[in-house]
């Protein structure tokens, strides 16, 4: 969330940020509530101060004077309770509005309504040309005897899949390569819970807003809040230090979280239904950086985590492009976001495989993630994240780009050590 004092000082920046992100947000309502809150707090504090002062005097009074003082103390007690009761709903609405308030995009974010306005920054490699009729990833997997979509559908419903045999090993090889790459670049690998409390999703700014995309696990008792399945290990990793005050000497923290991920894909009925592009369950290695509140450092971290993702795509020998995400597509929390898109021949287009976001202190304020600087001041951290690799979507590009005329799949050199030295996956039929 944003600092309420900063909103008060520059409301026009918040209005403009919300406009650019195409997110409706009532800044005037928030400011009016804030004024009301401060008025009630002032009245509450004045009543308490008078109550405290009069309470010290009343024992020294006698007769009518003491009775008047006791009557006044009762009035003051009622005033404090009345102001407290009036303050509670005001504060609750302020808290809700602050959670919904969008983080203004950086000035260099391209302006636009949706992903059609994303701007290409650079590309690497050229889409392949084939001297044969290329197959899509579903047919390639079937020839490898590497997928069972029909039985998965009966088992778990639409957008489900089973990878089998060599395809399952291929997925694991990609994930293991990603773990090796990110370890070599100084990140600590974490395996994290995929079932989290609601506060973790609020803290990372997925809630409010992404509830319909998230699987809920209702708590059978009334003693605890409901739990949810994460759509990315970013949630678990970024929230790991929530409520802590970190030592500046320990920063930056560079984590890589591996986990299965779950998304309902609500609102995508009939879209990308064939194959592995848009599924309910997938695996991902996610890089997260937590550091001091320094603008240049966060820009440097952003460039580094994007370079890590690009390196991974280069090791997989995949053509890709880097896109600066438009203001209307960037989401509520990020101040800037890159999408990385790998070439997918069956789509005749690039498909998103990575997103790299920076947030400044937006997430840290929501989860009270702080550090103590060299001068002893306690400040909120800056956070960033980016995909290292996500499967099975990247398998679409990997299989289709590296397919050969006989339906076999050439294995990029970087993956071969994780596949027993295999250079080619041969079709079964």
Q: Read off the pLDDT band of 50 (50, 70, 90).
A: confident
Domain 4-100 shares a fold with domain 115-425: no
- What percent of the chain is helix, strand and coil (3-state, nearest 5)? 45, 20, 35
Q: Residue range 258-282: average pLDDT? A: 88
Supply angle C-alpha 382, 386, 357, rounded to 5. Answer: 50
Q: Residue range 165-182: average pLDDT? A: 97
pLDDT at 221: 64
pLDDT at 40: 94
- Residues ≥6 apart with Cβ < 8 Å to 78: none
Q: Residue range 173-197: average pLDDT? A: 97
pLDDT at 51: 85
89 pLDDT higher than 80: yes
> Measured between alpha carbons, how far is 207 from 216 in angstroms, rounded to an integer?
12
Most confident among 41-50, 51-60, 262-271 (mean pLDDT)? 41-50
Q: Are 276 and 161 in contact (CB under 8 A)?
A: yes
> Measured between alpha carbons, how far is 44 from 140 in angstroms, rounded to an integer?
71
Q: How many Cα atoms occupy the beta-carbon half-sphere of 340 within 13 Å?
A: 28
> Measured between alpha carbons, how far is 362 from 3 in angstroms, rounded to an integer?
9
pLDDT at 226: 83
Sheet strand arrangement including 227-229: 195-197, 227-229, 216-217
Per-residue model confidence as pLDDT tens digits over 135-168: 999 999 999 999 999 999 999 999 999 999 999 9
Q: Residue range 15-43: average pLDDT? A: 96
Report the predicted TM-score, pTM, of the whole model to 2 decimal places.
0.92
Q: Residue range 32-46: average pLDDT? A: 94
269 pLDDT higher than 80: no
Q: DSSP character for 163?
A: B
The residue to which tokens 């899509």 are assigned:
136
105 pLDDT higher than 90: yes
Distances (CA, A) of 358 to 21, 253, 298: 15, 15, 7
> Measured between alpha carbons, how far is 174 from 399 in angstroms, rounded to an integer?
12
4-100 is classed CATH 1.10.287.40: yes
pLDDT at 222: 59
Phi and psi, residue 419, nearest 5°: -125, 30
> Measured between alpha carbons, how far is 258 from 428 in angstroms, rounded to an integer?
31
Bridging pattern class, strands 245-247 and 370-372: parallel
Tokens of 4: 């309420």
> Measured between alpha carbons, how far is 153 from 71 in angstroms, rounded to an integer?
74
Which of the residue ranges 69-78, 98-107, 305-314, 352-361 would you say has the lowest mean pLDDT?
69-78
Tokens of 30: 């928030």
Cα torsion at 342, 347, 348, 352 (round to 10°)? -30
Q: Read off the pLDDT band of 190 (50, 70, 90).
A: very high
Q: Are 144 and 425 in contact (CB under 8 A)?
A: yes
Helix and strand counts by DSSP (H, E) for the chain = 12, 16
Instruction: Of 118, 186, 135, give the one whose Cα is nearest residue 338.
Output: 118
Q: DSSP character for 251?
A: P
Q: What is the mean pLDDT of the chain?
A: 94
pLDDT at 219: 74
> Measured between alpha carbons, how far is 389 from 365 in angstroms, rounded to an integer?
28
Per-residue model confidence as pLDDT tens digits over 362-375: 999 999 999 999 99
* Three-state DSSP class for residue 219: coil
Q: Are 308 and 340 in contact (CB under 8 A)?
A: no
Q: How many Cα atoms occupy the beta-carbon half-sphere of 148 within 13 Å?
A: 10
CATH number of 115-425: 3.30.930.10
By CB atoms closer than 10 A (0-12, 13-18, 19+), residue 281 is: middle
Q: Which helix (H) or strand (E) holds 96?
A: helix 63-100
Per-residue model confidence as pLDDT tens digits over 207-258: 999 999 999 997 766 567 789 999 999 999 999 999 999 999 999 999 999 9
pLDDT at 387: 97
pLDDT at 261: 97
Q: DSSP character for 403?
A: B
267 pLDDT higher than 80: no
pLDDT at 92: 96
Q: How many Cα atoms occupy the beta-carbon half-sphere of 109 within 13 Å?
A: 29
The distance between the two most distant Cα atoms of the chain, rounded to a whole number of Å, is: 108
- What are the residue boundaries of the structural domains of the chain, listed by start? 4-100, 115-425
């Amino acid at each position: 969330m944003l600092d309420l004092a900063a909103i008060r000082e520059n409301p026009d920046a918040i209005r403009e940020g919300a406009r650019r992100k195409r997110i409706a947000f009532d800044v005037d309502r928030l400011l009016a509530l804030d004024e009301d809150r401060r008025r009630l707090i002032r009245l509450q504090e004045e009543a308490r101060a008078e109550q405290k002062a009069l309470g010290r005097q009343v024992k020294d009074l006698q007769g009518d004077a003491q009775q008047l003082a006791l009557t006044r103390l009762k009035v003051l007690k009622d005033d404090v309770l009345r102001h407290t009761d009036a303050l509670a709903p005001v504060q609750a609405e302020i808290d809700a509005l602050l959670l919904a308030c969008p983080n203004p995009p950086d000035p260099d974010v391209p302006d636009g309504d949706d992903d059609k306005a994303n701007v290409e920054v650079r590309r690497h490699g050229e889409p392949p040309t084939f001297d044969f009729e290329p197959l899509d990833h579903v047919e390639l997997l079937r020839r490898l005897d590497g997928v069972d979509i029909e039985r998965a559908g009966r088992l778990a419903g639409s957008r489900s899949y089973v990878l089998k045999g060599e395809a399952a090993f291929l997925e694991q090889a990609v994930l293991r390569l990603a773990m090796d790459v990110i370890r070599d670049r100084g990140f600590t690998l974490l395996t994290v819970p995929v079932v989290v409390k609601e506060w973790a999703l609020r803290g990372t700014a997925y809630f409010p807003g992404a509830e319909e995309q998230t699987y809920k696990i209702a708590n059978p008792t009334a003693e605890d809040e409901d739990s949810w399945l994460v759509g990315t290990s970013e949630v678990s990793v970024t929230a790991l230090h929530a409520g802590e005050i970190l030592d500046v000497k320990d920063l930056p923290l560079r984590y890589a979280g591996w986990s299965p991920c779950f998304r309902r894909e609500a609102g995508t009925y009939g879209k990308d239904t064939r194959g592995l592009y848009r599924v309910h369950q997938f695996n991902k290695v996610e890089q997260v950086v937590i550091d001091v509140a320094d603008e240049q450092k966060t820009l440097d971290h952003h460039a580094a985590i994007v370079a890590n993702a690009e390196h991974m795509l280069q090791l997989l020998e995949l053509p890709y492009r880097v896109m600066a995400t438009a203001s209307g597509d960037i989401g509520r929390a990020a101040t800037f976001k890159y999408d990385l898109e790998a070439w997918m021949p069956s789509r005749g287009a690039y498909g998103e495989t990575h997103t790299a976001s920076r947030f400044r202190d937006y997430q840290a304020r929501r989860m009270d993630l702080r550090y103590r600087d060299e001068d002893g001041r306690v400040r909120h951290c800056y956070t960033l994240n980016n995909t290292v690799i996500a499967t099975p979507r990247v398998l679409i590009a990997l299989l289709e780009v590296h397919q050969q005329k006989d339906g076999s799949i050439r294995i990029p050199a970087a993956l071969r050590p994780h596949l027993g030295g295999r250079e080619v996956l041969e079709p079964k039929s």
